[in-house]
Amino acid sequence: MNQINQMNQTNQIDQINQKRAVLVTGASGGIGRAISLAFAAAGWFVGIHYHRNKLAAEDTLSQVVAAGGTGTLYEADIRVQRDVQQMVEVSCNLAPAPSVFVCNAGIGESRLLLRQPPEDWADVIATNLTGTFHCLRAMAPPLLARGGGSIVVIGSYAGFHGAMGQAAYAASKAGLTGLVHTAAQEWGAGNIRVNLLLPGWQQTRLSEGSIPAGDSWNDHALGRPPSREEMAKTVLHLAQLRDVSGQVWNCDSRNL
């Protein structure tokens, strides 16, 4: 019986090692949860990052398991370089180590430009832009050491065209475009693909109060926003493309 148990344990370890792994930041709800579930349904091991809302992250993990995947939780404040570094190091010391990272964590602040408190501006920039900078700097070395991998950064249409009352958010997302293009050029020789994905309007906590209502989709060719499930599947697809990097993927039917 001991030999049988040892064989079963060995088989389980082998199955885990053969899995592919992804780490998704901001996976406690909304877009991050949908992306986590898309990877889980494809059989990936999912690292679920959160900052404050552990209960929501645990709910994401439960849904990941129900979808056929496996995963674990990571708590980190992406505004703090040390937190991000520790999270990535821990994830890369597990088997399987992530071959894909999805930088989704972000916050919003709805204030007109002339009423924007400097401290709120600084917090949005520190989270959305500088936080992603910390993530990229931590994620690239282990991927380079393993011969490559994929990083998908979640951007926003607001980063290209702005949005009323969204100066800090739009500026932070605009900065991601230059960051992604630069990282793609610097790390391409190491076979790291870095792409920016625009998820379109998604009904999340961040979009409350600003998302168009009713039939206000005249600027969309299809007259509707993209579904969350299709957006998440697009992230999964983009992450696995071997010959695409430095690109902006628009999941919407609205032109940039």
Annotated catalytic residues are 169
Which segments within the chain are labelled E, that is strand? Answer: 21-24, 45-50, 70-75, 98-103, 149-154, 192-198, 248-250
The whole-angstrom separation of Cα 231 and Cα 210 is 19
DSSP 211: S
63 Cβ neighbours under 8 A, 6+ residues apart: 33, 36, 37, 40
Around 170, how many Cα atoms within 13 Å sit in the side-chain half-sphere?
15
Give the sheet arrangement for strand 192-198, strand by strand. 70-75, 45-50, 21-24, 98-103, 149-154, 192-198, 248-250
> Residue 72 — φ and ψ, nearest 5°?
-155, 165
